[in-house]
């Protein structure tokens, strides 16, 4: 099979697998990451075939859906890619990108070794912020049965992957524990430029959210004087 035939075959496979996922890690998330990764790969002069494979397969077995196994994605990607008789070098590169892709806590280093990995990581992180990122965050929080906000539970800058994956704090905390940190963790200049506006949108959302949340507390305080 030619490279583009392989890409289209894997795209069809992932679409079928994830099209009914409801926690924000669905086919359309993969599609956006795929398309943005392709665009950045051309600008950065990266290996577009590796970038497309990693983008399409990056959520094939996310650790969040696989009992916290951070290597589930790489293993699942390998099992798919060997069916296409690809060189070991390509398979290993794609699997390594997928295993290193995820944010694993504020204090955990998740630096990518290759430009291909940096591109896919940037595209995935860009889809986690901004308007779509906000929607995905609440979709995932709802699916996991997490509350929207609890002012008595403060955000925690997790210092290890174990702390991060075992956290069950309200969804609003996720903005402070991860999403607001991503702007300064982008790898490529293209992603850094895009992240600025999306970061600002999240800040505006949070400002409105807390203004609406605490107005009731202020009104109670006034009535009790």
Supply the range of the domain harboring residue 149.
3-223
- Total of domains in the chain: 1
pTM of the model: 0.91
Question: What is the torsion angle, in degrees rounded to the nearest 10, for the CA atoms of residue 41, residue 47, residue 50 and residue 52?
Answer: 30
Q: pLDDT tens across 2-59, in order?
A: 999 999 999 999 999 998 888 889 999 999 999 999 999 998 889 999 999 999 999 8
Q: pLDDT tens across 41-53, in order?
A: 998 889 999 999 9
CATH number for 37: 1.10.3210.50
- What is d(CA 114, CA 188) in angstroms, rounded to the nearest whole number? 11
CB atoms within 10 A of CB 32: 16
Give Cα separations from 79 to 51, 70, 83, 166, 223 (angstroms). 18, 16, 7, 28, 63
Q: Smallest Cα–Cα separation from 165: which of 62, 76, 73, 74?
A: 62
How confident is the prediction for the chain on average, in pLDDT?
A: 90
| Block residue for tokens 């690809």 | 86
């Amino acid at each position: 099979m030619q490279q583009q035939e392989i890409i289209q075959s894997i795209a069809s496979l992932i679409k079928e697998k994830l099209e009914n996922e409801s926690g924000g890690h669905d086919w359309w998330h993969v599609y956006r990451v795929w398309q943005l990764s392709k665009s950045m790969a051309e600008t950065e002069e990266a290996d577009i075939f590796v970038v497309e494979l990693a983008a399409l397969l990056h959520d094939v077995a996310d650790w969040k859906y696989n009992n916290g196994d951070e290597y589930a994605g790489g293993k699942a990607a390998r099992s798919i890619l060997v069916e296409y008789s690809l060189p070991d070098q390509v398979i290993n590169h794609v699997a390594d990108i997928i295993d290193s892709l995820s944010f694993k806590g504020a204090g955990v280093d998740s630096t990518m070794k290759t430009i291909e990995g940096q591109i896919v990581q940037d595209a995935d992180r860009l889809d986690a912020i901004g308007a779509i990122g906000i929607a995905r965050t609440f979709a995932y929080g709802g699916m996991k049965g997490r509350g929207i906000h609890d002012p008595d539970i403060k955000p925690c800058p997790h210092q290890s992957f174990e702390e991060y994956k075992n956290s069950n704090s309200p969804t609003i905390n996720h903005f402070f524990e991860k999403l607001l940190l991503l702007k300064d963790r982008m790898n490529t200049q293209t992603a850094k430029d895009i992240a600025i506006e999306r970061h600002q949108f999240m800040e505006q959302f949070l400002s409105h959210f807390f203004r609406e949340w605490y107005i009731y507390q202020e009104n109670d305080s006034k009535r009790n004087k």
